[in-house]
Structure formats: structure tokens, C-alpha cells
Amino acid sequence: MGVVEIVNMTDEYAADIVTWRYPAQYDCYDLVGTDAGFFADPRNGYVALVDKGELIGYRVFGPDGRVPGGEYDESALDTGGGLRPELTGRGLGKQAIATGLEYGAARFRPTAFRVTVASFNIRAQRVVQGLGFVPNRTFNATTDGRSFVILTRQQP
Ligand SMILES: CC(C)(COP(=O)(O)OP(=O)(O)OC[C@H]1O[C@@H](n2cnc3c(N)ncnc32)[C@H](O)[C@@H]1OP(=O)(O)O)[C@@H](O)C(=O)NCCC(=O)NCCS
């Protein structure tokens, strides 16, 4: 990766994101069929992650980073996101998420960040734990019963 940065979500980026399909096991993160307008609407907290202008992923800040069934309060800012499917599994996630956290810290000045990761998704848990997130608790989503873990990172 070259110069990775966060920029505003555009209609074009959102139209790209809603075509993304992940390989089996991670296909629960597929965004195919979701409404591009939802990602493009700034009220939903989505921003684009670009490398020299090319869309490589997205990040989200706020309630859309939560999973139904989890217990959430206002002590931390929720964040989530994803890399473009063909860029996963190559060690790029750490820099991608770190870039998002730097942006989120500067823009929102949270006292802590919070992420909610599917329990099966050890890959994502390794990356966020490598960035200082600590697991707090697990719960089952009210939507499909799947197990999730909530991790937080206090900000300096
Ligand atoms: C989650 C995500 C950011 C991780 O980034 P990534 O670049 O794909 O991850 P990496 O290739 O660096 O793998 C991270 C670690 O998990 C390990 N790993 C990969 N697959 C694994 C598996 N099935 N079981 C256990 N460990 C695994 C890697 O070896 C690596 O180990 P390391 O910490 O010793 O280097 C990225 O895959 C992504 O955005 N995926 C989209 C779908 C998704 O999972 N979303 C989750 C949102 S919370």
C-alpha cells in the first residue's frame, strides 16, 4: 500500500462497496444487495479508505458499528469497516484500521473506541488486538444468534 487515507464517501465509492463479496466463511460480510444510498448518506457515519485515490475499504463511526443484542453505552465510539475483498488476508488490515482510528481520534476525540467482531473471526480479532483493543464481553446477536465479542481501546 502507498498513501492510505480516509476521505468522504462518494456515490461512486458506495456503488462499488455494494458489489463486494467475500470468500466463504467471511461471506456474512457481503454487501451485495445493500443500498448504496445508505453508505453515501453522511448521517450514517461511513467514510472511504483510499490508496492513491483507489478505494481499498471503508470505515464507519457511530451506531452503525454496533450489532443488535450487544450492550452499548456512550463511554466509547463504535467503529467498524472492511477491506475490499481481494485485499483481505494479506496483512493490510492493520494499517487500514490504524488509519481509520487516527482519523476518528482527530475528528471525534473519543475517550475510547469500541469494535464488535464475530467470535469466529479470529483474523479480525488478531488485527484489532494488535492495535491495543481488549476484549470485554461476548453476546449473541438478536438477529441470527451468532456470537460476537466487544473490544475496547482507551484513548490517551
Ligand atoms: C478484518 C480485516 C481488517 C483483517 O485484515 P487482514 O489484512 O485481512 O488480516 P491479516 O491478513 O493481517 O491477518 C491477521 C492475522 O490473522 C491471522 N489469520 C488469518 N486467518 C486466520 C484464521 N482463519 N484463523 C486464525 N488466524 C488467522 C493472520 O495469520 C494474521 O496473523 P498475525 O497477527 O500473526 O499477522 C480484513 O480481513 C477485512 O476487512 N475483512 C472484511 C470482512 C471482515 O472480516 N470484517 C470484520 C469487521 S470487524
Residue 3 has pLDDT above 90, yes or no: no
Pocket test for ligand 1, best of 55, 61, 66, 123 (most atoms within 8 A of CB): 123
Mean pLDDT of 65-73: 97
Q: How confident is the model at residue 2 (pLDDT cuts 50, 70, 90)?
A: confident
What pLDDT does 23 receive?
95
Calculate ∠ Cα 83-43-143, nearest 5°.
65
Look at strands 77-83 and 54-61 and give their pairing.
antiparallel
For ligand 1, atom 5, which residue shows the shortest CA distance?
93
Percent of the chain with pLDDT over 90: 97
Q: Is the dihedral of CA 4, 156, 150, 39 positive or negative?
A: negative
Query: What are the residues whose beta carbons fall under 8 Å from the beta carbon of 30, sequence distance 6 or more?
Result: 20, 21, 22
Contact predicate 155/111, CB 8 Å: yes
Q: How confident is the model at residue 1 (pLDDT cuts 50, 70, 90)?
A: low
Mean pLDDT of the chain, nearest integer: 97
Contact predicate 39/54, CB 8 Å: no
Mean pLDDT of 140-150: 97
Residue 54 has pLDDT above 80, yes or no: yes
In the numeric block, which cell numbers belong to residue 3? 498513501
Mean pLDDT of 2-26: 95
User: What does the domain layout of the chain look like in residue ranges?
Assistant: 4-154
- The tens digit of pLDDT for each residue in 29-46 reads 999 999 999 999 999 999
Mean pLDDT of 15-26: 96
Residue 103 CA, ligand 1 centroid: distance in Å: 21
Residue 96 CA, ligand 1 centroid: distance in Å: 12
In the numeric block, which cell numbers belong to residue 95? 494499517
- The torsion angles phi and psi of 28, rounded to 5 degrees, stand at -65, -15
- The tens digit of pLDDT for each residue in 88-138 reads 999 999 999 999 999 999 999 999 999 999 999 999 999 999 999 999 999
For ligand 1, atom 27, which residue shows the shortest CA distance?
123
- Residue ranges around ligand 1 (CB below 6 Å): 22, 26, 29, 80, 82-83, 88-94, 96-97, 115, 117, 121-124, 126-127, 130
What is the third-level CATH fold of 4-154? Answer: Aminopeptidase (3.40.630)
